[in-house]
A and B are shown apart, each in its own frame.
Chain A
Amino acid sequence: MDFFREMWVITRKDLRAELRTKEAINASLAFSLVILVLFSFAFDPTEKETVSMSGGLLWIVFAFAGTLVLNRSFAREVPNDCLDALVAAPISGAALFMGKALANFLLVLAVELVSLPVFGIFYNVHWTSHFWSLMLVLALGTWGLTVIGTIFSALTVNIRLRELMAPLLVYPMLIPALMSAMQLSMDLIAGKPLGGENQIWLRLLVAFDVIFTALSLVLLETVLVG
């Protein structure tokens, strides 16, 4: 069976299981809304200030809310020992990882796409001036978040304090990706197009995604089969 079909089977399974209970995605959405409200108390949301903080604010919301989805990714396989069945199945570890990562990516992206307009309304920010560039940055940043979140969910799947450990490990690792995504989103929302000065951040984000995707694909089998 070819790689993409294996991957898609896993993705579909994860999405179906999640959408049936909506446990993680509901929690994540609610959480992101709560943080958006909380942030309005942290500073006076006048328009000019908000634009200069928008990138940081958005990505902190995304990172926190995303972790709720990502933590569940391999934890979902723990009850009933489902992970054993997946490891035993004749699919490559790479397909398993990419399938799970893709499902997580779509879920996190959905949460982000809901919180983005909410952010625009709450903070009175016109964020659509470079819509497609922003979507590109959103996708790249979210992929970085997803890859690290998914592989660390696999790493911590069998340890106690899993829910506490994963964020502690994930956030410091994510700092470069979050920084680029913040910088780029801020520029785009402020009306500066991609390219020129912020080109370097786009490159950094892509490099982060590529490096950690490759590393995860290489190491997943080691993580799951000891």
Chain B
Amino acid sequence: MTAVAAEGVWKYYGDYPALRDVMLRAEPGTCLALIGRNGAGKTTLLRIIGGFSKAGRGQVRIFGNDPRETQTRRRLGWIGHGISVYDELSAFENLSLFGRLYDLPDPRKAAMEWLERTGLERVKDGLVREFSRGMRQRLAVARAFLHQPSVLLLDEPFTALDDRAIAVLQRLLRDALAEGRTVVMSTHQLREALELATHVALLNRGKTAFQGERTAQMVQDPGWVYAHYGED
């Protein structure tokens, strides 16, 4: 079954169409890199797929269901621009909070496990406020992976990360793909993203200009997709 499907999605801001009839598909076990210029609608599209905002026309299906359904939300993981963890709580409290919200059988155990996997177990009781940038980002990654989502949505994941966090994220994403999960990410960092991606979609002014498998040529020359499909 298709993991993520956008079927003729339109999104208006007032009368201005930010997305125009976007079609998108991602099968389980694949990683789709969503590329495009600033203002092309990447974030808007990802937020609709994640259920944060509603499509004006058309629909998004996650394993055939609406993204806002409770069961579907359980299967989605999200990393956005902010880290989405609380400054006033400790790393462990944050993760066990989200463990409870996602109704994990043992939230504390899951929290510990993911603190270890992201290398934060030593600072588990430190408040997030006191964390360095890199630690905060790793905690954000742990929060997104905590409930073992089958679809991961990442909005510009590599932009704000430091080297160590990038390494952690890339390893986790590779593992996830190997386990048959789906990854959809929007990105500027073509090189990092294209290494991971199995598929590429290019958005141009709210329209899908290209969608297909990632080829070796794209990795060698990241500007290639833009050159062939991106310009007007």
Contacts and interface: CB of A to CB of B under 8 A. Distances in A.
Do any beta carbons of A and B sit within 8 angstroms of each other in the complex?
A: yes
Q: Give the contact-size bracket for chain A.
A: 20 to 34
Main secondary structure of the interface of B (DSSP, over half): loop
A17 B73 contact: no
Interface in B57-75: 68, 70-71, 73-74
A24 to B, nearest CB: 12
Contacts of B52: 84, 87-88, 225
B145 interface: no
B68 A85 contact: no
Contact of A13 (B84, B97, B103): B97
A17 B80 contact: no
B51 to A, nearest CB: 7
Contacts of B68: 225
Nearest to A19: B88
A79 B78 CA distance: 17
A155 B29 CA distance: 39
Contacts of B102: 89-90
A92 B88 contact: no
A72 B144 CA distance: 25
> Which of B86, B97, B98, B103 is the most central at the interface, judged by chain A CB atoms within 10 Å of its CB?
B86
A82 interface: yes
Interface in B98-140: 98, 100-103, 127
B37 interface: no
A116 to B, nearest CB: 28
B76 interface: yes
B87 interface: yes
> Which of A16, A18, A21, A88 is the most central at the interface, judged by chain B CB atoms within 10 Å of its CB?
A88
A80 B86 contact: yes
B81 interface: yes
B78 A9 contact: no
B84 A90 contact: no
B85 interface: yes
B156 interface: no
B50 interface: yes
Contact of B103 (A1, A82, A225): A1
Nearest to A95: B101
A181 to B, nearest CB: 32
B54 interface: yes
Given A88-B52, A88-B76, A89-B73, A20 B88 contact: yes
Contacts of A89: 73, 98, 101-102
A84 B85 contact: no
A6 interface: yes
B51 A90 contact: no
Given A80-B83, A225-B51, A85 B88 contact: no
A91 interface: yes
A192 to B, nearest CB: 44
A9 B97 CA distance: 7
Interface string A1-22: 1000010010001001110110
A9 B100 CA distance: 7
Contacts of A18: 88
B84 A17 contact: no
B51 A82 contact: no
Nearest to B83: A80
Nearest to A91: B101
B97 to A, nearest CB: 5
Given A88-B52, A89-B98, A90-B73, 4 more contacts: A81-B80, A89-B102, A90-B74, A91-B101
Interface of B: 50-54, 68, 70-71, 73-74, 76, 78, 80-89, 93, 97-98, 100-103, 127, 143
Interface of A: 1, 6, 9, 13, 16-18, 20-21, 79-82, 84-92, 225-226
24 contacts: A9-B101, A13-B97, A16-B93, A17-B86, A20-B88, A20-B89, A21-B88, A79-B82, A80-B82, A80-B84, A82-B86, A84-B52, A85-B85, A86-B101, A88-B73, A88-B76, A88-B78, A90-B70, A90-B74, A90-B103, A91-B101, A225-B51, A225-B53, A225-B68
